[in-house]
Amino acid sequence: MTRDEVLNDLRARFAGDILDLVEKSPKRVYIEIRVESIRDVALFLFKDLGGRFNTASGVDGRSQMEILYHFTLEDINLLISLRVRLEKPNLEVESLAPLFEAANWVEREIHELLGINFKGHPDLRRLLLPDDWPRGVYPLRQDYREWDPEAIRDRGV
């Protein structure tokens, strides 16, 4: 299947779920989909089209958070990024960990750094932050403030 065939097939199959499809360059496509349909689209890309799940990235905007799931279709040299917008304050999305194992650690990292809850994740605990990091403090959010009284933030010059 060529690139155009793949995109037209996606547009046809998930017409109700896709909100926007931006073809940024011949190799990159950004597809924005609804929050509820992430699992179906991801499963289709993974199983039927044979795409490889690269990683997921999270962004904190002013009033919303976005998660981008990146899938690669290596045969036709195409990188599809699925964008999911989450409105604050309900930051919840279905977890992709039961579908493929690669999403397990990625979602743990997004959860501990941005505070997005993944429903249905089998093991949502800390990955990178130390054990004595306070609960409920998410470092990569825009409204993160220094909570540690012993931290030294000047160079002393």
Positions touching other proteins (CB under 8 A) are 129-130, 132-133, 139, 144, 146, 148, 150-153, 155-156
Residue 144 Cβ vs other proteins, minimum distance, rounded to whole Å: 7
User: Based on CB atoms, which residue is closest to other proteins, 20 or 132?
Assistant: 132
- Per the DSSP assignment, residues forming a β-bridge with 58 are 67
Alpha-carbon span 87 to 2, nearest angstrom: 35
In degrees, rounded to 5, the angle at the alpha carbon of residue 45 between the alpha carbons of residues 43 and 46 is 65
DSSP one-letter code for 123: -
User: Based on CB atoms, which residue is closest to other proteins, 12 or 151?
Assistant: 151
Residue 93 Cβ vs other proteins, minimum distance, rounded to whole Å: 24
Residue with tokens 């690269």: 54
* Cβ 124 vs Cβ 146: under 8 Å: no
The three-state secondary structure class of 53 is strand
User: Based on CB atoms, which residue is closest to other proteins, 15 or 151?
Assistant: 151
Residue with tokens 């950004």: 30
Residue 95 Cβ vs other proteins, minimum distance, rounded to whole Å: 25
Residue 105 Cβ vs other proteins, minimum distance, rounded to whole Å: 17
User: Based on CB atoms, which residue is closest to other proteins, 23 or 147?
Assistant: 147
